[in-house]
Amino acid sequence: MCGLLTFVSALGAAPLQQAAFTAALDTLQHRGPDETEVTRAGHDVLLGFQRLSIIDVEKSHQPIWYDHDRYVMTFNGEIYNYIELREELTRQFGAEFRTDGDSETIVAAYHYWGPQAVKKLRGMFAFLIWDTQSKTAFGARDPFGIKPLFYTLTEDGLYVASEKKALMPFSAAARTGDAGIDGANLSHYLTLQYVPEPGTMTKGISRLGSGECFTYQPGGSMEVMRYWKAEFRPTPVSDPERKYAEIREALRESVRIHMRSDVPVGAFLSSGIDSTAVVALAREFNPNILTFTAALDVEGYSELDVAQDSARHLGVKTYPVVVTAQMMMDALPKIVWHLDDPVADPALVPLYYVAKLASEHVTVSLSGEGSDEFFGGYTIYREPLSLRSITGLPDGVQKGLRAVSKVIPEGVKGKSFLERGTTPLTERYYGNAKIFTEDEKRDLMRRYDPSVRYTDVTDGIYTEAAHLDDVTKMQYIDLYTWLRGDILVKADRMSMANSLEVRVPFLDYEVFNVAADLPVDLKLPPRSTDTKYALRQALRGVVPPEIVNRVKLGFPTPIRVWLKNEMYQWAREIFASSGAGSLIDLGYAQRLLDAHKAGEGDQSRKVWTILCFCLWYAIYVDRTLDPGVQHNASQLKLKPRVDRVVA
């Protein structure tokens, strides 16, 4: 896991500004404290890299060159099938390698297979290859969006980086002195609790989408192409036991190759089936694997007891960290800085601390993200099944029931059921988080734009999923919104904040292939409250029996409790001192906080969403808050910054 920054100059652009480039690269030092290098390829390209050494520590330095210095690449991530690809390239083309790692494998694959090489990569990745002969840049991001890749295209050329903060000094907004806040994405954030891809909160800086690649030639445009799209294909299963075995073996094999590393590998362990399954399978390949668990210092919110019981059952050691309200308040400014854009998911905080703990013992940790989107793990996925008695009625009848729902008083049983059942899925479901409604945003936002709707984010995704049943449509929506906008951002930024590589074995081509075939009744069986049923059946005998049907918690955080007590004054002071009042009605925010403290409904998620934005604004816009981020000390001697000039 590493941090990259690359600049490809436009034709006739000003000379390369290496000092400014190096300063921007330094903001990524937490992603790779082991080595730092800046390389110049001719007069057109600067490539910078911060390395966290994982595979082939002694030789696979970056930026990495190939084919007599024709190609040079910066790459963040891991390619888990690199050994098999190297063998194939050697056998088919006689390819030669100077290293033993995965980085050179990518460049060699591109040399022999061209852009199609990206389809052969099994792993998590974001990279840019510069071809010094054709003067062409080629870049790509992994199919599920595990690794980030930000870019900004200016009159000077193309800048690409692992985090947005490294691009901000070169953005159009920085040149004009404008804050450059994207109003539409602020609106989306207030609804979704994250900024949806491909945009960011800063105008002119975007993200390459998951499963996308691009080419760029100086003086031309950036051509973005989609090389992979998730294809769910629910199919009736005649032999469920055989299907369960396929799931189990696909996950076992994924865990096996995800453990390829030249440094210690551990795993996160919670009370749920996902992380427990990863640990149980990883233990088969390393019986001494270390595990790490986060707990919250409020009764009813801790996963520690169950996780420790699972660790004992599996015969592995687990290290716990207990997170308090004060620890959450202390860490949040640092967390927001690392995020680049606000993400109002309170689970970021325990994840930050468990990653910090893990980094003291290992360099790589396995985690369980992706299981819910693949196998149907969210409780909300049962909603289409519960609403069938209404959604199957003729349109005219539904219209009448909708009218009835409008006259039923709030809080009366049946009102919500009728409303949801008579609202099309495309309008009622836009992901796991639903923070502020449009009416609430109209009161909250100073510059509310009624033309900006959450459907702007989901309409195109629903079009792609039009042939699927409603449950699978919801999975597809989450795969392209919630997973890559919230879940994977948390995993990447909180691990990298602590110079820890997190690997996610569920998010693998082969695991997806066996999950994609599952029919609804094997994900969410009738007359049951189970979710991801097929996965649970596949893991019987792998995970402890009491975990098989345990309800997912997923780092629950007691902000509902703490914002009434320990965090109340802290939150009040943030609202009182925030400079974000030109965009957000901070009086409205304070009234929400007071209503929450008074017990007038649970307003905690709304309050937290505004708090995170106010902290982000203070750090990145008016710069009144120092987040207190310190760079990690390098574990290896820093490589000298090198100018490598290729004519």
To the nearest 10°, report the CA torsion of 431, 432, 438, 440.
-170
- For the chain, percent helix, then strand, then coil, each to nearest 5? 45, 15, 40
Helices (H), 392-508: 395-407, 415-421, 425-428, 438-444, 455-464, 470-480, 482, 488-496
**What distance in Å separates the CA atoms of residue 399 and residue 393, rounded to the nearest whole number?**
10
CATH superfamily of 240-377+478-548: HUPs (3.40.50.620)
Whether the CB-CB separation of 625 and 615 falls below 8 Å is answered with: yes
Whether the CB-CB separation of 117 and 106 falls below 8 Å is answered with: yes
Residues contacting 114, CB < 8 A, separation 6+: none
Question: Looking at residue 638, what is its pLDDT?
Answer: 37
Helices (H), 70-154: 82-93, 103-113
Question: Looking at residue 55, what is its pLDDT?
Answer: 76
Question: Looking at residue 267, what is its pLDDT?
Answer: 98
Determine the CATH number of domain 2-167+205-226.
3.60.20.10
**What distance in Å separates the CA atoms of residue 321 and residue 328, rounded to the nearest whole number?**
13
Class of residue 251 by CB neighbours under 10 A (exposed 0-12, middle 13-18, buried 19+): buried
367 labelled binding-site residue:
yes
Tell whether the torsion through CA atoms of 80, 81, 82 and 83 is positive or negative: positive
Question: Looking at residue 174, what is its pLDDT?
Answer: 67
- What are the residue ranges of CATH 3.60.20.10 in the chain? 2-167+205-226
- Counting as low any pLDDT under 70, the low residues of the chain are 1, 12-15, 56, 174-178, 551-556, 631-647
- What are the residue ranges of CATH 3.40.50.620 in the chain? 240-377+478-548
**What distance in Å separates the CA atoms of residue 296 and residue 305, rounded to the nearest whole number?**
11
Angle between helices 568-577 and 604-620 (to 10 degrees): 50
Tokens of 521: 């009744």
**What distance in Å separates the CA atoms of residue 144 and residue 463, rounded to the nearest whole number?**
19
145 labelled binding-site residue:
no
Beta bridge partners of 365: 266, 502
Question: Looking at residue 642, what is its pLDDT?
Answer: 41
Q: Record the pTM.
A: 0.94
Question: Looking at residue 404, what is its pLDDT?
Answer: 84
Distances (CA, A) of 232 to 163, 419, 459: 31, 29, 18
**What distance in Å separates the CA atoms of residue 524 and residue 530, rounded to the nearest whole number?**
6
**What distance in Å separates the CA atoms of residue 288 and residue 314, rounded to the nearest whole number?**
11
Beta bridge partners of 125: 77
Establish whether 614 is a catalytic residue: no
- Residue of 2, 213, 612, 614 with catalytic role: 2
Whether the CB-CB separation of 74 and 107 falls below 8 Å is answered with: no
